[in-house]
Amino acid sequence: MKYTKNTLIGEALDADITLAPYFLEMGMHCLGCPSSRGESIEEACMVHGVDCDALLEKLNAHQG
């Protein structure tokens, strides 16, 4: 799966649960809550002050 700014957090985690640490290290500690699962990667990055392009690079390079 190719992750983009529009990919929902829930979709990414459903595709590969081993991505969770990347979201946890950016301060997203509520990965199971309905609102975070429905949030896009771009929205989550804005809320948590994270460089979205850098996170997408990590997610897309990850092989879990």
What single letter denotes the amino acid at residue 55? L
pTM higher than the cut 0.85: yes
Question: How far apart are alpha carbons 33 and 59 in whole angstroms?
Answer: 21
State percent of the chain over pLDDT 70. Answer: 100
Judge whether residue 32 has pLDDT over 90. no
- Is residue 15 in a domain? yes
Residue 42 lies in a domain: yes
- Provide the token pair at 9: 């957090």
Q: Does residue 4 sit within a domain? A: no
| pLDDT tens readout for residues 2-12 | 999 999 999 99
Residue 55 near residue 41 (C-beta atoms within 8 A)? yes
Structural domain of residue 29, as residue ranges?
9-61
How distant, in Å, are the alpha carbons of 22, 47, 61 from that of 29? 11, 13, 22
In this predicted structure, the answer to whether residue 31 has a pLDDT above a threshold of 90 is: no
pLDDT at 9: 94
Structural domain includes residue 57: yes
